[in-house]
Amino acid sequence: MRAGRRALAAVFVAAGVLHLAAPQIYDAAMPPSIPAPRAMIVVSGLAEVAGGVGLLVGRVRQWAGWGVVALLVAVYPANVWVAVGADGPAWLPWARLPWARLPLQGVLVAAVLGASGAGRAEATPAA
């Protein structure tokens, strides 16, 4: 589980750093209904970095897991927006990539819940 947790943490930290270092590449992925899109890109980047680091810290791991899950749920509508509005002929492999991202989001949620322990019920002492 440690290797999986580290891999997930690395993915989220790297994605967050990319959001912060080159936010302009995410501009086109922001639905027009989102207020202050660049600020939202930066906030999501910060959340990804914090969540990724948090997955590695035992005391906050479960909270970080729930935070990353919340982030994945929050950005899902933008991923749908990108998939629906993706340009290019459908027969090109990269034209379908935004659609492939949609079920991947569920896989990421399950992986984060498992790696962080956020999906586990807390044991209660016997009465």
* CA atoms of 16 and 25, how far apart (whole Å): 13
Instruction: Give residue 66's pLDDT.
Output: 97
Domain edges within the chain: 2-116
User: What burial class does residue 54 get, using C-beta atoms within 10 Å of its C-beta: 0-12 exposed, 13-18 middle, 19+ buried?
Assistant: buried
Instruction: Give residue 123's pLDDT.
Output: 39
Render pLDDT for 66-125 as a digit per residue (tens, 0 to 9): 999 999 999 999 889 888 886 655 655 666 788 888 999 999 999 999 999 997 765 344
| 18: Cβ contacts below 8 Å, ≥ 6 apart | 25, 45
* CA atoms of 54 and 46, how far apart (whole Å): 12
| CA dist list (Å): 69 to 21, 90, 99 | 23, 30, 20
% helix / strand / coil in the chain, to the nearest 5?
A: 75, 0, 25
